[in-house]
Chains A and B, each alone.
Chain A
Amino acid sequence: MTSAAPAMPAWTRARPGWDPIAIAAIGLTTFIGVALLAALVALIAQAIPVVQYEGWRLITEADWFFRHERFGALAMIFGSFAVALIALALATPISLGAALLTSEFLPPSARLAVKSIIELLAGIPSVVYGLLGILILRDWIFTLLTPFDPISGDTLLTAGVLLAVMIIPTVMTLCDDALQSVPRRQRQAARGLGLNRSETILYVSLPQAWPGILAALLLGLGRAIGEMIAVFLVIGRMDNQAPSLAAIIAPAQTLTTKIGGAEAFIAMGNPLHWSAILSLGSMLLLMTAIAAGAAALLRHFTVGRSA
């Protein structure tokens, strides 16, 4: 994210023309836009029957028994928030600290090298993280939890820890961008006033960069809520785990693992069940849209301020 808006290219001010390339560009963009919008509308529209059937029970009860046509999704909503918040709580200090290191202490060339490596690592497929989780992290967590007599190493906590590792590269690189967008002159002025490097960070860089940092955290949160594959492999997928503190170290289910499980195929045979699965999808869509929207607003705010 570059903060300074690039100069307005002169040729965009050209008279509007209906040339063949313009028609093709508008046509293709409209096509994909309409197709995607139609798919999303179909998703939400088909989720409506279960909302009418269950009403508020859909989000206030933890009783999902599709054979009895009971669809209370509270356990999955709780699971999604729990894993995402655990992930964010663990990833935030490490990512922010690492971003401070690259942005405020490393010389530009070293910063670029570290950032490139971190961005490469952000590309490790989630199924690979899932594999590491299932073959390594699960046993560690089981050992760690032995005093609490766990059922297995598949818990909400395991999924949260795994997600934390997965979102560190993304959150770190976005925090670094946010810190970098604070104008250099501000830092120089602070140093000129006699603040040392750490005070400059505390009183100038962090306060100026906070909307960007918050946006980075929100994007990390969105990514954590939406991740399915890695979570699926380590969460144990136990239905109807009522929200409680103890549930953190028990197997559970999140919105994504429920949607991604084999139940989706079964659900296609029963319109109400299918509607219930799609309602989980709509909730997920809403949550990630809110996270992404808030992040976009915050970044807009940052650009406005530093420009």
Chain B
Amino acid sequence: MRKFIHWIIPISAALCGAIAVLLMVGIIGVLVQRGASALNWSFLSSGLQNAGAAGGILYQIVGTLILITTALAVAAPLSLAIALLHSVYLAPESRWKHALRESLLFLNAIPAVLIGILGLLVFVQYFDWGKSWLAGGILLGVMILPTLAVTLIEKITSIPNRYVDAARGLGLRTPQIVSSVILPQSVSALFTGSMLGLARAAGETAPILFAAAVFSGATLPDGIKNNPVLALPYHIFVLAQDTFNPAAQTNLWGSALILLAIVMAFSLAALPLRLRAHEEAHS
């Protein structure tokens, strides 16, 4: 019996590990294999034709970039404010501090489709904006807010006490310590959090479903109200529901590969600093 347990656990663990890795390798492999044939320069540099069956995805990429830049512009100052309030100004172990942390976790758990429906409720119903790129950017910003804020909070909490003690000893006041010690020390976390946030925002479809994205007929926005954008994930989502046209299928795989490449590029950009933070935390 002991021998059986001794062997069965490592073997089944290795098996599960192999299944997980093979699944993931298979997914990436299929995407690269099928998507690569669709890729060429004109696919990236021209607009859509024939309802997705021909032409390229230039404005889908542009629209996605507009949305994620806006999302970051919304989320960065807010999460910096939340992180500073949480880690610098609120007393340790205080009720407010716990409440803030739990609220961030709760916000992170809200399903993307609910953020989308809240967008419909707030921006379309109350503000009467129609579909707007700004609404989409704000909604995506809300989605990535917890990621950014938690990354910042973890970094600020890990700043060695002696840095702050030294600054205090030099006679610096709290706002001066924040601007000359805490903020410079947090730049790397702001970068990492931003990359993680951009990766997430680029791939989300549900938040922009109702209040921001359209399938065709938009290029660059020139206002806020009734100024929708095209977006890569939304494009895939709509085109995927009409998969019987083989030409559209090729474009679909190509779009998915480009989307994956964008998301992975941002995630990879965040990786080195995360690994370093991980090592520091465990050394």
- Taking Cβ atoms with an 8 Å cutoff, the residues of A that contact B are 2, 6-14, 16-17, 19-22, 24-29, 32-33, 36, 39-40, 42-43, 46, 93-98, 100-102, 104-105, 112, 114, 116-118, 120-121, 123-132, 134-136, 165, 168-169, 172, 196-199, 201-202, 219, 222, 225-229, 232-233, 256, 259-260, 264-265, 268, 277-278, 281, 284-285, 288-289, 291-293, 296
Contacts and interface: CB of A to CB of B under 8 A. Distances in A.
Interface string B127-170: 00000000000000010010000000000011101001100100
Contacts, number: 282
B110 A288 contact: yes
B164 A10 contact: yes
Contact of A43 (B6, B19, B118, B175): B118
Interface stretch (B74-82, B185-193, B222-230): B74-82
Contacts of B202: 125
* Dominant secondary structure of chain B at its interface with chain A: helix
A27 B85 CA distance: 10
Contacts of A19: 173-175
- Chain A facing B: main interface SS: helix
B12 A97 contact: yes
A25 B121 CA distance: 27
16 contacts: A10-B161, A12-B91, A17-B175, A28-B81, A95-B16, A97-B13, A102-B17, A126-B205, A129-B27, A131-B256, A132-B31, A198-B8, A226-B112, A232-B237, A256-B111, A293-B106
B17 A97 contact: yes
B142 A36 contact: yes
Contact of B203 (A11, A128, A196): A128
B29 to A, nearest CB: 11
A289 B108 CA distance: 10
Given A98-B16, A285-B114, A11 B9 contact: no
Given A13-B91, A21-B178, A285-B110, 16 more contacts: A11-B161, A21-B175, A21-B179, A22-B85, A25-B81, A28-B78, A29-B81, A36-B142, A97-B13, A101-B17, A126-B205, A134-B243, A135-B240, A268-B120, A292-B105, A292-B109
Given A98-B16, A118-B20, A268 B125 contact: yes
Count chain B CB atoms within 10 A of each CB in A27, A124, A136, A264 and give the residue with the most.
Answer: A124
Interface in B101-126: 102-103, 105-114, 116-118, 120-122, 124-126
Given A9-B159, A10-B164, A198 B6 contact: yes
Nearest to B113: A228
Nearest to B122: A39
Interface stretch (B36-44, B51-59, B258-266): B258-266
A46 B82 CA distance: 29
Interface string B9-35: 110111111011101100110110000
A124 to B, nearest CB: 7
A32 B74 CA distance: 10
Nearest to A24: B81
B241 interface: yes
B117 A264 contact: yes
Contacts of A172: 20
A128 B271 contact: no
B210 interface: yes
B68 interface: no
B259 A125 contact: yes
Contacts of B84: 21, 25
Given A98-B20, A127-B240, A12 B87 contact: yes
B206 interface: yes
Contacts of A228: 111-113, 206
Contacts of B106: 289, 292-293
Given A11-B168, A39-B118, A46-B121, A128 B87 contact: no
